[in-house]
Structure 1
Amino acid sequence: MNFDEIYGRPPEGVWRAPGRVNLIGEHTDYNDGFVLPFALSQGVTVSAARRDDGVFAVRSLQAPETAEVSDPVPGSVTGWAAYAVGVAWSLREAGHPVGGASLLIDADLPQGAGLSSSAALECAVAVALCDLYDLPVPGPELARIAQRAENDFVGVPCGIMDQSASLLCTSGHALLLDCRSGLSAQVPLDLTELTLLVIDTRAEHELVDGGYADRRAACEKAAELLGVPALRDVTDLGEALSQLGDPVLRRRTQHVVTENHRVEAAVGLLRAGVVGEVGALLTASHLSLRDQFEVSWPEADVAVEESVRAGARGARMVGGGFGGSVVALVPSDRTDRVREAVRAAYADRGWPEPRFLDATPSAGAGRLS
């Protein structure tokens, strides 16, 4: 089925937004910290046309469910379609005059793999609606609008990173994003003789469940007890840990503070052109996410261990946790060895075979035709 067959007319255009891999800086975004994502070549495509009846209609080539609503409000749409309809609601809530639209969604980005398929969907819809209705919304503002759709319409308390990466990244670069100010900078990500290998562990995650929200609530509680606006503002980690009586809050705080330092160190290494040295920071990040933030999962731990044993410079889980993907920084002549090592380890444990993706730092969202 194509747009013409579904809606009885051709689309007015086609837009695309990429998924992302966060090179480093996990669970720092909603703590007003720093993140360093890059956009993938894989993403979500939206074919769209305006409607004069005020109806917002959404179809997907990957899912049987459909949605048609003329007055979208939180709770009026559920499932995957809520991410798309929520963008129209959020644009209207921000004062932008968005009318009805017919949308057809297509994607080559795996869902549930921790590669931000939800933000890619939101951002593809956002740029489509802005073009259709001639809305000159700057990228950082549009990222906030898409984030609000996920926070307040879908009900996922995500930070700003995923939407910013999908909208603002440029080819061959990672995006250093200050999640408090919204300021960003492009950081060269030169992968000469290196490959960023994404390993989809096949353990799907779902951020609407309680694990992600619990971690965010713990960070907010720790910041409140420490008397700072957010954990990003902790300057003396030792002193902060001594003030927190709850061992869980101490672990969460230790991860966020040290992860921000790892982002800053990674940026320095990338700007100095020593990309391979970032590998040690990736592995340190994973160990912190596993032991301090406690959001890793067995398939990710094995993928990291086997990747490093087979020659990767470093590896870590990406995304919110509890399932999804691992990213490994691998010398290009060792990628086959890493793939085989991870496959063999999964087979030994009776797990589904992992999927692999060579990640190329790519451009953010835009119009295709």
Structure 2
Amino acid sequence: MRRIHEPPGRAIEAARDSLQREVGAATGTVRVVRSPYRVCPLGAHVDHQLGQVTAMALDRCLALAYSPSGSREVVLESLDFPGRVRFAVDDVPPQASGDWGDYARGAAAVLKVHRRLERGIIATTSGPLHGGGVSSSAAVGVAYLLALADANGLSLGPDEFIELDRRIENEYLGLRNGILDQAGIILSRRGQLTRIDCRTGRREWIPAPADAPPYRLLLAFSGIRRTLAGTDYNLRVEECTSAARTLLEAAGRPSANPLLGEVSADEYAEHAHRLTGPPARRAAHFFGEIDRVRQGVDAWARGDLAQFGALMTASGESSIVNYECGRPPLIDLFHTLVACKGVHGARFSGAGFRGCCVALVDPEAVDDVARRVSHEYTRRHPLLAANGSIAVCETADGAGILDLQGGAERLTRAS
């Protein structure tokens, strides 16, 4: 497994330089969207059921350098994927089934339903983390939305960007996820834990106390790469729906929206015995995770990283046992991280069908943890490890646009 040592700002520089050099955009017209990757320390698999989640944006980002095209045409290049993408904002083609330009087309498709698009963009994307689990798909969707809105002089609030990015994935791409990824990418603040209520949209930012111990977020990428639309992700959503329908019928509310977030904790306690098989396990995970989020927010506010980390590990275990989303290589990564000295806690990052694990680590132990994880994973899964990687991150603010005119970098946040 290779260690990613690339400086956090390198993606921004690479995208900007490439656009100016290869596309020939004048320096004064170039802007860069910084759309950070995100992790969800607690709140796994509950956003699509209207639960409460937590999120942190990372100092590693997807960068989109862009300039208005002077026409309705969108022209895109990527420093990470081959080929060039072209389409017109008033004639967006359908999904191309896995093509890297799908998120740009999806952004234009959902945006033009609500706003008039008259100008395209010339753009280059760059981002070092594509192993899954840090919401690179949502990050690129947010980036295209910000760039297209800016190029067309559209003023949108953070909730509108969150909803539009959700529609890219739900409606254009067919993935039945909630708002966790987009909200974490847009709303996060450096050094704080963001809690988001996916039912009401309410959010709050919880800073750690000034005397809280330092930490780093270590990401261990498994080398498994597969889009969520091709996994059992949507099946798990159906199983949650089945559990919710049974519980709501037992509670005398059969017409309620069949989501577990519509079921109270008391109703679950009273009627859980009616559930069997996968729906029973999915509901057990949901209500357990909701309680872990509540406890985790309290632990974070106290600066109790040991307790917060223990809850992360419990979340990882429930994802394996109750949500049944861990594949063997990811489970191995999880157990290896948990066993490392200096790791407060760990869990899958993202849906758990591919991607990576995230660990909350004492900064003094980061190098030792990285070496041990790399050694153990390479020993057990040498072929996957050849495509795996490890990155050490800190938290960052949410997505925004860098205005690079005059050599200055002024960040205009989506929120």
The TM-score with structure 1 as length reference comes to: 0.93
Q: CA deviation at 1:289?
A: 0.3
Map of 1:234 onto structure 2: 264
Map of 1:192 onto structure 2: 213
2-structure distance, mates of 1:183, 1:107: 32
Q: CA deviation at 1:98?
A: 2.1
Q: Aligned partner of 1:335: which letter?
A: V
Pair 1:335 & 2:366 matched:
yes
2-structure distance, mates of 1:195, 1:51: 40
| 1:196 partner SS | strand
CA RMSD, 1 decimal: 2.0
Conserved? CA contact 2:80–2:127, under 8 Å? no
Specify which of 187, 191, 195 is matched with residue 176 of structure 1: 195
Map of 1:202 onto structure 2: 223
Q: CA deviation at 1:69?
A: 1.7
Q: CA deviation at 1:189?
A: 4.5
Map of 1:2 onto structure 2: 18
Specify which of 288, 293, 298 is matched with residue 263 of structure 1: 293
| 1:357 partner SS | strand
1-structure distance, mates of 2:141, 2:55: 17
Instruction: Label 1:210 to 1:357 Cα distance change in 2 as closer, same or farther (>3 A).
Output: closer
Report the count of equivalent residues: 367
Q: CA deviation at 1:6?
A: 4.5
Instruction: Label 1:289 to 1:185 Cα distance change in 2 as closer, same or farther (>3 A).
Output: same
Q: CA deviation at 1:283?
A: 0.9
Q: CA deviation at 1:8?
A: 4.2
Map of 2:62 onto structure 1: 44
Q: Aligned partner of 1:336: which letter?
A: D
| 2:222 partner SS | strand
2-structure distance, mates of 1:175, 1:224: 30
Per-residue Cα deviation, 1:217-257 (whole angstroms, up to 9, x for no partner): 1111211222253212331333332122x311000111011
Map of 2:12 onto structure 1: none
**Long gaps (5+) in structure 1:** none
Q: CA deviation at 1:336?
A: 2.5
Specify which of 221, 242, 245 is matched with residue 221 of structure 1: 242
| 59-68 or 113-122, larger mean C-alpha shift | 59-68
Pair 1:123 & 2:157 matched:
no
Per-residue Cα deviation, 1:92-116 (whole angstroms, up to 9, x for no partner): 11x2122232232322331133111
Map of 1:82 onto structure 2: 102
Q: CA deviation at 1:348?
A: 2.4
Q: CA deviation at 1:73?
A: 4.4
Identity percentage over the alignment?
Answer: 28
| 355-364 or 338-347, larger mean C-alpha shift | 338-347
Conserved? CA contact 2:222–2:330, under 8 Å? yes
Instruction: Label 1:225 to 1:102 Cα distance change in 2 as closer, same or farther (>3 A).
Output: same
| 120-129 or 250-259, larger mean C-alpha shift | 120-129
Conserved? CA contact 1:109–1:117, under 8 Å? no
Task: Summarize the alignment of residues 1-369 of structure 1 with structure 2, pairs less than 5 Å apart.
Answer: 2-10=18-26, 11-70=29-88, 71-73=90-92, 75-78=94-97, 79-93=99-113, 95-189=114-208, 192-227=213-248, 229=257, 230-232=259-261, 233-236=263-266, 237-244=268-275, 246-311=276-341, 312-351=343-382, 352=385, 354-369=388-403
Q: CA deviation at 1:52?
A: 4.2
